[in-house]
Structure 1
């Protein structure tokens, strides 16, 4: 599935389209149209327009979009059909809606599906790089999940997520992991060996980058905890994802996301290079 066919991507694009229309719209006196102008004219709360323009809606409304198009003076039926089609497609259900009961929120999965790049610093093998057996061992090892059916559903969801690495325009992933990730026999020696071989295989792909933070690096900016940065391309703000045991947090304000971008650069500089990482993986595999 490419970005073009993701319901999440459709909603995001629709929000951007409507925000752009307001930015270009002018009041009779020539000044730029504000959110307050729109809210007053349509008898809406300003928070409603804010949710629409920032893609905070769950199911876009045809009526709301028509009202906005009318207010902005969009009368050409060919042009009107584009955002209205986005409404229909944005209301479709993505595959991850079927596992919302497992995660509570699948916002990150939806954003990951439309991102151009993910930069991640982890104390585990990143979910997109995990083998099925490693993923199962992680789920079971958490101690929170004992139902075999739920374990299987979570593992299957993780495997489905990995399909974005195989699409025509694959997700770019730059992952840095702590050395303990490589040394720890999660699931036993056989699972560890299979996972390390899988990581070696992944390093051959041009759109995937892997680095290991060796213990010898000493103190570094990543010691504060793991995080992921989702990049969406020129003109779109990056989003930072922080995952905790009971909840996850998405950060969008530039003053916060820029800090994590700086951290990632310095973590990468302190870690073994991609070439050194390949040599290290081979060394560990040889010793197993």
Structure 2
């Protein structure tokens, strides 16, 4: 079975290649449009990914104009165009993820660094914990809750697939202390955290209450990095109604610095495992 990929990242990569090709050909957007019999706006929308689908004929015409003649290069760019047209598994959960779906980027990420202050990160949640979490919010019907749980569980495949993503998580102690559902649910969630933390691609660190004020006393966030240098890192910040993505280098750098600060303040992975294990035992002893 083919590894999941990100149509959005493939489209961005193709747009970057085309922009570089035009610039190497020393053509302006207007000149390229005139040569192809198109408007400058059409060229601009392709280069900024506003145009989501590029036909084979249009792509061939652009590569011809830009003198991109290497057969392997042309085949690779056509493959990017085909991949960009595909729909990921997350497209059927649009009401859950919104127009810009986080799994679209997670599918191709090589490293994810994530901070969570109030709850266990979605990628590390058990189905029962997620269900209790959703039930604690605004009233939602049982069918919708089950769809949300299925979507959340499907995201976890990036942690255990072949060549899995490297996940670096820092959680505030409040995320483990807050009672979501019952003690049984919390005990199971703690045991699941311990199991996941033993995987070689996952690190979990705790920011204890004793640390006091720290650099991330704000919204939770994730920094996603990709193996291809043409795909720069992005930051995802979840909100009540939507997801916000930051792509400007300055924004990414500030979030990276913040993550570095809190990672330095957090206790070690082994100390965190001991803390979670003791918390699980405490929960189990009183159930």
- Per the normalisation by structure 2, the TM-score is 0.88
Aligned pairs for 1:125-164 (under 5 A) are 125-145=120-140, 147-164=141-158
Task: For 1:2 and 1:196, locate their aligned partners in 2 and report how far apart those are by CA, in whole Å.
Answer: 33
Give the conservation status (yes or no) of the 8 Å contact 1:99–1:157. Answer: yes
1:121 to 99, 115, 121: 115
| Structure 2 residue ranges without an equivalent (≥5) | none
Task: For 1:108 and 1:217, locate their aligned partners in 2 and report how far apart those are by CA, in whole Å.
Answer: 30
- 1:251 equivalent in alignment to 2:214: no
- 1:265 equivalent in alignment to 2:264: no
Task: For 2:133 and 2:21, locate their aligned partners in 1 and report how far apart those are by CA, in whole Å.
Answer: 46
Shift of 1:87: 1.9
Give the conservation status (yes or no) of the 8 Å contact 1:4–1:10. Answer: no
Shift of 1:157: 0.7
Task: For 1:19 and 1:167, locate their aligned partners in 2 and report how far apart those are by CA, in whole Å.
Answer: 34
Aligned to 2:60: 66
Shift of 1:49: 3.7
Cα RMSD, aligned residues only: 2.3
The aligned length equals 281
Q: 1:263 to 1:130 in 2, by over 3 A?
A: same
Task: For 1:219 and 1:44, locate their aligned partners in 2 and report how far apart those are by CA, in whole Å.
Answer: 56
Give the conservation status (yes or no) of the 8 Å contact 1:200–1:278. Answer: yes
Shift of 1:58: 2.8
Shift of 1:282: 1.2
| Structure 1 residue ranges without an equivalent (≥5) | 28-32
Give the conservation status (yes or no) of the 8 Å contact 1:11–1:60. Answer: no
* Residue-by-residue CA offset, 1:191-235 (whole Å, 9 max, x unaligned): 100000000001111111111110100111100221111111363
Q: 1:133 to 1:258 in 2, by over 3 A?
A: same
Aligned to 2:208: 214
- Per the normalisation by structure 1, the TM-score is 0.88
1:85 to 70, 79, 84: 79
2:269 to 258, 265, 274: 274
Task: For 2:76 and 2:133, locate their aligned partners in 1 and report how far apart those are by CA, in whole Å.
Answer: 44
Aligned pairs for 1:99-248 (under 5 A) are 99-122=93-116, 123-145=118-140, 147-233=141-227, 235=229, 236-248=231-243
